[in-house]
Structure 1
């Protein structure tokens, strides 16, 4: 009888411990400030290279070539850039090519693959082609880029 009592307590205690572990692991990993927000809406703001952003061409960090870079996207489907060098036009148009916020189309021709977009981080990859670069750009900027910008507002 005595062993049955202790065995019963052990089973109940173990069950409660397992239940507590299950309940604490069922929480949401979403950022409460951005949960439920359509990621496509995050693009409309000013994005800056400063504050931890990077630009890589062919795997080489070229961020110093774009010091002070800012890209501002407005809801009307236009954008402007400051200190974009030969990489980004000073102004142009943008739209989502995909419905799931994975491909952004700049100026009707440059496909930007969006790897991550949150309220504070915009990570993208694109391949600057000769056709796009022909709009007054140097052939020296042609190639694959990986760009991470930080949200400013």
Structure 2
């Protein structure tokens, strides 16, 4: 009479081929499930816990979905190719800034909460939103800020949205 162990080991030996195939198939199935569930998200979430005061340091462009609105009218075409580059040393440069932005100057945060940006010690820019990819601001020009003269063509409230680059 065979013991349980002898019976089991005989059955395993007799069906070893099928048992091996079952183990390999099960392993491949588990690996397939693991790899398909390890895929990343298609969305690139904004970095968390980033100090908004450091987000300004980069190049911001009008192209790629930015806008410039003056008195409710889109004037983006007047500033095609606009780029603002802020560096951590507290300076900035602009390309195609027209009468809105000087070719170069200084910047600093007026307050510790990064809601007001001060350009060249005089132009207060209210920061409505700043993320890694979006810089939305509002300011009011009472003179031709870039050249220092008075020009009714540029005087007024502006709402500017620029897109960040890496």
| TM-score grouping bracket, smaller chain normalisation | 0.7 to 0.9
1:55 to 65, 68, 72: 68
2:94–2:101 contact (8 Å) kept in structure 1: yes
Tell me how far 1:50 sits from its aligned partner.
0.1
The residue matched to 1:130 in structure 2 has which SS? coil
Q: 1:137 to 1:119 in 2, by over 3 A?
A: farther
Residue 139 (structure 1) shift: 3.4
- Partner residue of 1:141 out of 130, 154, 163: 154
Equivalent position of 1:27 in the other structure: none
Which residue is 1:100 aligned to? Answer: 113
Unaligned runs of 5+ residues in structure 2 are 1-43
For residues 137 and 45 of structure 2, the distance between their equivalents in structure 1, rounded to whole angstroms, comes to: 24
The answer to whether the 8 Å contact 2:144/2:151 transfers is no
Q: Does 1:85 align with 2:98?
A: yes
Which structure 1 residue ranges, 4+ long, deviate > 3 Å from structure 2? Answer: 131-134, 136-139
- 1:133, 1:74 → 2: CA distance? 19
RMSD of the alignment, in Å? 1.7
Unmatched tracts of structure 1, length 5 or more: 1-30
Conserved in 1, the CA contact under 8 Å of 2:99 and 2:144? no
Q: Is the 8 A contact 1:133 1:142 kept in 2?
A: no
TM-score normalised by the chain length of structure 2 = 0.70
Q: Is the 2:59–2:165 contact (alpha carbons within 8 Å) kept by the matching residues of 1?
A: yes
Give the 3 Å change call, closer, same or farther, for CA 137–91 of structure 1 in structure 2: farther
Shift of 1:135: 1.4
The answer to whether the 8 Å contact 1:39/1:117 transfers is yes
Q: Contact 2:128–2:136 at 8 Å: present in 1 too?
A: yes
Q: TM-score, normalised by structure 1?
A: 0.76
